[in-house]
Amino acid sequence: MRREYPDRHMPYWLELTHKQFIKACHETEVALMVVGALEAHGDHLPLGSDTILPNYLADIVANRTKALVLPPIPFGESWTFEEFEGTVCVTPAALLNYYSDVMEGVFKHGFRYIVALNGHGGNSSLLQLAARKSTTGGERAVIVVNWWIDLGKEIRQKLLESPEGHAAEDETSEMMCVRPDLVDTSSYKSSEVKTKYAVVSARYRGELFPSAVRGDPTKATREKGSRFMEEAARELLELIAQLEKGELPLTKG
Ligand SMILES: [Zn+2]
């Protein structure tokens, strides 16, 4: 759902004409690349949750800044949830090439920074590899923001009553804020399978993530979700403002 602001700059890459794009490029050094997934999220959240949530933040960026927002990439690395109905998984090799091609294509237009706003854990390492590949040619940077980890950390620690997870209290609260119409609150199932080591096997995926859930969605509320999204948006806008000034988000001791 797109929220409209009176000062909207219209910086959706896919809505601009060639001529408007040239003008828009002169007004910003930052492009926002939204990266999601299409995968099972329990019986209560939609398959596109990992795209819907970062896209919500991207809409705020589009409305409040001049950064250009790319159309979201809706498929991700979802091997862990491949056996659940509705999941569509793209192989790591294909995604790595796809991400780096997109990044190189964006840099080619003169952008100095790409914020890769990622909504899905399986994509993180691939985005980093793609960023390495696409930044070998000069002064430019990809900032990978795993938004559900990197943004709103403190408020999460303060308000969450159960551990963060998959389709858990945190993500369910966020979806209740962003798209309450898509949350089936009558179908909650909690599950918490802990492993001391990384157990990797296609055979045991269902046992590691029963119902494609890790965590306790029953503790989710819309209020918590609103606070998380509000703070995430604030921090993301701050990052973009910093990049527009030509500063990398570094803390030096
Ligand atoms: Zn998710």
Check if the beta carbon of residue 3 is closer than 8 Å to that of residue 86.
no
Q: Please give the structure tokens belonging to residue 217.
A: 């969605």
Q: Give the per-residue pLDDT at 205.
A: 87
CB-based contacts of 98, cutoff 8 Å, min separation 6 = 73, 90
CA distance 222 to 243: 31
- CA 75 vs CA 4, 26, 51: distances in Å: 27, 31, 8
Distance in Å, CA 112 to ligand 1 centroid: 29
Domain 13-160+226-244 has CATH 3.40.50.300: no
Enumerate the β-bridge partners of residue 214.
Answer: 166
80 CA distance to ligand 1 centroid (A)?
12
Asked if 219 and 167 count as a contact pair (C-beta separation under 8 A), the reply is no
Q: Where are the extended beta strands (E) located within the chain?
A: 30-35, 68-69, 113-118, 141-146
| Among 195, 176, 194, CA closest to 184 | 176
Ligand 1 midpoint to CA 195 (Å): 20
Parse the chain into domains and list their residue ranges: 13-160+226-244
CA of 235 to the centre of ligand 1 (A): 20
How much is the pLDDT for 251? Answer: 85
* pLDDT given for residue 1 in this prediction: 46
Averaged confidence pLDDT in the chain: 93
The whole-angstrom separation of Cα 182 and Cα 175 is 8
Which amino acid type is present at position 116?
A
Tell me, in angstroms, the distance from the centre of ligand 1 to residue 43's CA: 13
Q: What is the pLDDT of residue 247?
A: 92
pLDDT tens digits, one per residue of 39-82: 999 999 999 999 999 999 999 999 999 999 999 999 999 999 99
Q: One-letter amino acid identity for 145?
A: V
Residues in the chain with pLDDT values less than 50: 1-2, 5-6
3-class secondary-structure state, position 56: helix
Instruction: At 92, list the tokens.
Output: 């790591």
Q: Across the strands, what pairs with 34?
A: 117
| pTM for this prediction | 0.94
Q: What is the DSSP letter of 13?
A: G
Query: CA–CA separation, 71 vs 15, rounded Å?
Result: 10
Q: How far is ligand 1, taken at its centre, from the CA of residue 86, in Å?
A: 14
pLDDT at position 9 is 61
Cα 124 → chain centroid = 10
Give the separation between CA 156 and CA 163, rounded to whole angstroms: 10
Distance 109 CA to ligand 1 centre (A): 32
